[in-house]
């Protein structure tokens, strides 16, 4: 498991029902591409987050398939719709099988 993986997500605390909210996510992960070599010339094995999903109350907002060409500490920004108050659930899937999760609540103003 990659060490020091910490997801960070920015979601507005409240929004009008059906409004568009901009969500920014960032997860600290080295995203080793599998292309680099260490000092002895050995290839450093690939270790990346290969999939990200965002759901709101069980409904899918976005799914992203990530490849090694995504930068270190993958950053994603997208827009979601919140028809009611509820919870945004964010999930990152690591190559090694680890799953990182975080959730944010949003209220309807």
Among 11, 49, 56, 106, binds another protein (CB under 8 A): 56
Question: For the chain, first and last CA: distance in Å?
Answer: 40
Is 69 a binding residue for another protein by CB under 8 A? The answer is yes
Q: What angle do CA 17, 25, 92 make, to 5 degrees?
A: 105
70 binds another protein (CB under 8 A): yes
Q: Quickly tell me which residue has 């993958």 as its tokens.
A: 74
Q: Which residues contact 59 (CB under 8 A, 6 or more apart)?
A: none
Using CB under 8 A, which of 5, 9, 21, 85 touches another protein? 21
CB of 62 to another protein, least distance (A): 5
Binding site for another protein (CB under 8 A): 20-21, 33, 35-37, 54-56, 59-72, 74-83
């Amino acid at each position: 498991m990659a060490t020091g993986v910490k997801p960070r997500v920015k979601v507005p605390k409240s929004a009008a029902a059906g409004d568009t909210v901009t969500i920014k996510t960032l997860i600290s992960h080295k995203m080793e591409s599998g292309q680099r070599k260490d000092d002895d010339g050995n290839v450093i094995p690939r270790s990346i987050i290969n999939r990200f999903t965002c759901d709101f109350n069980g409904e899918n907002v976005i799914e992203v398939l990530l490849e090694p060409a995504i930068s270190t500490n993958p950053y994603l920004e997208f827009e979601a719709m919140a028809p009611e108050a509820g919870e945004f659930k964010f999930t990152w899937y690591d190559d090694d099988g680890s799953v990182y999760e975080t959730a944010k609540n949003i209220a309807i103003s």
